[in-house]
Amino acid sequence: MKEFKILAVIVALVGITYYGIEPYAHSVMHPEVSPADFTFKDAKNVDTSLAGNVDNGRVLVEANCIACHAIEKAGHPALMPNADAAASYGVVPPDLSHAGRIYDKNYLANFIFDPVTAMHLEHKYPAGGAKAFPMPSYNWMTPQEIMDVVAYLQSVAPKVSEGKEGHKATFEAACGRCHSMAYAKFEATTPKDSIKTYMGATPPDLSQYIKSRGEHYLHSFINDPQVLLKGTSMPRVGLTEVAQEEVISYMEEIGDSKKAERESLGLWVMLYTFVFAILAYLWKRKIWSEVH
C-alpha cells in the first residue's frame, strides 16, 4: 500500500510538471487560431451559384489563359521551358490541368476575378504599388463568364488515384512550383534563384514539415498562411479540404514513412514487455516469500 502511495506522489509530481512544460507551455507559445475555412467565405466578388457552361468556358480559356498557362491534360503544352517561364514571370505559371480539381470552386472564381485579394497578398501587392502580381485581374469578365471558365477547368481535371501516387500529383500541382521535397527527390519547378527573387526568400523544402510543423499546424497554415504567419509572402492557395488532406498525407508519406511500421511494432514490443513484467512479478513474489 505504502509503495502505491509513493508511486502516486511521483506520478502526480511528474504529471503536473509534464502538463506544464508540454501541453500548457505549447498552448501559450502557439495560441489557437480561428479554424480553417474551406468555403473561403470572405471571397465574394463572384456569384458562384451560377451554373457554368463548359463549352463557353473552353473558348474563354483558349482566348485568355493559354498564352501563359499550360493545360497539358487538355492538349495545351507549356510554351517555354520552366527556367525561361520563371525568368519571364518571376515564377513558373501553373499548369491548369489540376486546377479544377484541387482548388475550391468559390476560391477559383474569385481568384480569376482578382488574384491578389483571393490570395490575401494585399500587403505584398498593394493597389497602385510598384510591384504587380504577374497575373492580371479578370474583373472585366461577367460572373457568368468566370463560372464558365471554372466549369471548363473542372471538366478537364483528371481524376487521380487514391494513395500515394494521387497524393503526389496533388502535392506537385499545389505546392511544387515553389517548394522542393528533397526526401522525395523532387525539386521545385521554378529554379532556385528565380523563386528566391520572386518570394523574397527561398521557400522551404517540405521534406520534414510534417514533423516540424505537424498536421494540426499545417491544417490551418495551408488553408490561410496569414492566420499563423502574418505578412508571409506565401499566398493562400485555395485548396479544397480533400486536396489539402492529400497534400498533408503526401508530406507524411515522405516525411514519416515508417509510421505504420512504428505503430504496429510498438504494440508487439509493449505486449512482450508486459509479459516480461508479469513473469518478473511472479518470480519476485516467489523469491521474496522466502525472506518475509
Partner 1 sequence: MAEFKQADSMYEWFDQRLGIDKFVKVMMTEYWIPKNINFLWAMGVLLTVMFTLLVVSGIFLLMYYKPDINMAFDSVNYTIMQEVAYGWLFRHIHAVGASVVFLIIYIHMFTGIYYGSYKKGREMIWISGMLLFMLFSAEGFSGYMLPWGQMSYWAAYVITEIFGGIPLIGGDLVVWIRGNFYVADATLTRFFMLHVLLIPLAILGAIVFHFYALRFPHVNNEAGEFFDFDEEAEKYLAGDKVNSKVVPFWPVFLSKDFFVLGFFLLFFFYLVFFHYGFAMDPINFDKADGLKTPAHIYPEWYFLWSYEVLRGWFFEIAGISGKSLGLMAFGFANIIFLVLPWLDRSPMVKPANQRPYFKYWFWLMIADLMVLTEFGKLPPTGPNAWVGFGASLVFLVLFIALPFITKAEAKKVGGK
Q: Under the rule (CB under 8 A), what is the footprint of partner 1?
A: 2-3, 6-7, 10, 13-14, 16-18, 20-22, 24-25, 28-29, 182-183, 204, 207-209, 211-214, 257-258, 261-263, 265-267, 269-270, 273-274, 276-281, 283-284, 287-288, 290-292
Which alpha helices (DSSP H) does the chain contain, by range? 2-19, 25-29, 54-64, 82-89, 99-102, 105-113, 115-119, 143-156, 164-175, 192-199, 209-212, 214-223, 225-228, 241-255, 259-289
Measured from the CB of residue 185, what is the shortest distance to partner 1 in angstroms? 11
Residue that is written with C-alpha cell 504529471 in the block = 15
For partner 1, give the closer residue by CB, 32 or 261. 261
Measured from the CB of residue 160, what is the shortest distance to partner 1 in angstroms? 24
Grid cell at residue 242: 480533400
Measured from the CB of residue 199, what is the shortest distance to partner 1 in angstroms? 15
For partner 1, give the closer residue by CB, 210 or 247. 210
Measured from the CB of residue 46, what is the shortest distance to partner 1 in angstroms? 38
The DSSP string of 195-259 is: HHHHHSSPPPP-TTHHHHTHHHHHHHHHH-HHHHSTT-SPPP--B-HHHHHHHHHHHHHHHTTTH
Q: How far apart are CA 264 and CA 107, in angstroms?
A: 40
For partner 1, give the closer residue by CB, 6 or 63. 6
For partner 1, give the closer residue by CB, 131 or 292. 292
For partner 1, give the closer residue by CB, 49 or 289. 289
Measured from the CB of residue 165, what is the shortest distance to partner 1 in angstroms? 19
For partner 1, give the closer residue by CB, 53 or 208. 208
Measured from the CB of residue 66, what is the shortest distance to partner 1 in angstroms? 39
Q: How far apart are CA 94 and CA 115, in angstroms?
A: 13
Nearest to 234 by CA among 249, 223, 245, 250: 223
